[in-house]
């Protein structure tokens, strides 16, 4: 009997894989936005995030509906998420006096004041002008720059994934694909944009920078992270 059930499940899964899936395009698509929103609402932090310990202000570029804010689990931090207009509109109901959503980098920076951490995870490659965006974020003079899943290179592409994999954690969603246009940044240009920073650590697609003492001295800030 168990063998029959297992065979039936295998046959069902195979048949589902043969059914063409609808593809939705971009992070602005309503189903993508709603999936990220619902997953964020359901998310609960389970592990500490050492890099955010002691941070008082964080600018989160491409932070969705505030998942990283919940991940940081820091009641003292003020967190500004910069996102697309549809994502910001959906996330408004999650705002508090500590978590705010913005469509413009300058507005987020104005609300935060001095920025302890600029954080971005797998987001800048979907911006209209990734390198210009990186330069603008670097010009804010955040104490630390934390980049993850940066798309480096010289050739644009279309990233295809499943809707169920968008956003943090599991959630029952429609069986659909998501197509995302990505624009790479040459690694040399990416590093050059951080001329005022010291590269502390890096991996294949992640980087950690600290603001240089020379840059801090112009704003009378200490070199506490060097």
CATH number at residue 45: 3.40.50.150
Which of 123, 114, 147 lies closest to 219, judged by CA?
A: 114
Residues 120 and 137 sit within 8 Å (Cβ to Cβ): yes
Establish if 180 belongs to a structural domain: no
Establish if 105 belongs to a structural domain: yes
**pLDDT, position 5:** 37
Establish if 156 belongs to a structural domain: no
Residue stretches of the chain with pLDDT short of 50: 1, 3-16, 18, 225-226
What's the number of domains the chain is made of?
1
Sign of torsion, CA 69 71 72 76? positive
**pLDDT, position 220:** 53
Between CA 112 and CA 129 the distance in angstroms is 24
Give 77's strand partners. none
Establish if 35 belongs to a structural domain: yes
**pLDDT, position 4:** 40
Establish if 81 belongs to a structural domain: yes
Establish if 39 belongs to a structural domain: yes
Establish if 11 belongs to a structural domain: no
Residue-wise pLDDT for 55-103, tens only, equals 999 999 999 999 999 999 999 999 999 999 999 999 999 999 999 999 9
**pLDDT, position 57:** 98
What are the two backbone dihedrals, phi and then psi, of residue 211, each rounded to the nearest 5 degrees? -60, 135
How buried is residue 145: exposed, middle or buried, by Cβ count under 10 Å (0-12/13-18/19+)?
buried
Longest Cα–Cα distance of the chain, Å, equals 75
**Structural domain of residue 208, as residue ranges?**
27-151+186-218
Using CA atoms, how far residue 6 sits from 10, 13, 72, in Å, is: 6, 11, 42
Establish if 49 belongs to a structural domain: yes
């Amino acid at each position: 009997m168990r063998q029959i059930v297992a065979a039936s499940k295998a046959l069902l899964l195979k048949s589902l894989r043969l059914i063409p899936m609808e593809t939705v395009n971009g992070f602005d698509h309503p189903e993508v936005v709603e999936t990220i929103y619902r997953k964020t609402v359901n998310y609960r932090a389970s592990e500490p995030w050492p890099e955010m310990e002691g941070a008082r202000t964080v600018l989160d570029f491409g932070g969705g509906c505030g998942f990283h804010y919940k991940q940081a689990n820091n009641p003292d931090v003020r967190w500004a998420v910069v996102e697309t207009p549809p994502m910001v509109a959906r996330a408004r109901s999650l705002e508090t006096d500590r978590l705010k959503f913005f469509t413009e980098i300058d507005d987020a920076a104005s609300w935060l004041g001095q920025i302890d951490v600029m954080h971005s995870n797998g987001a800048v490659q979907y911006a209209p002008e990734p390198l210009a965006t990186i330069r603008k974020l670097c010009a804010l003079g955040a104490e630390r720059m934390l980049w993850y899943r940066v798309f480096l290179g010289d050739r644009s592409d279309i990233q295809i994934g499943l809707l169920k994999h968008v956003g943090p954690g599991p959630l029952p969603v429609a069986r659909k694909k998501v197509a995302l246009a990505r624009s790479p940044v040459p690694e040399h240009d990416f590093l050059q944009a951080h001329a005022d920073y010291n590269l502390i650590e890096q991996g294949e697609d992640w980087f950690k920078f600290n603001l240089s003492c020379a840059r801090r001295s112009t704003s009378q800030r200490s070199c506490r992270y060097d």
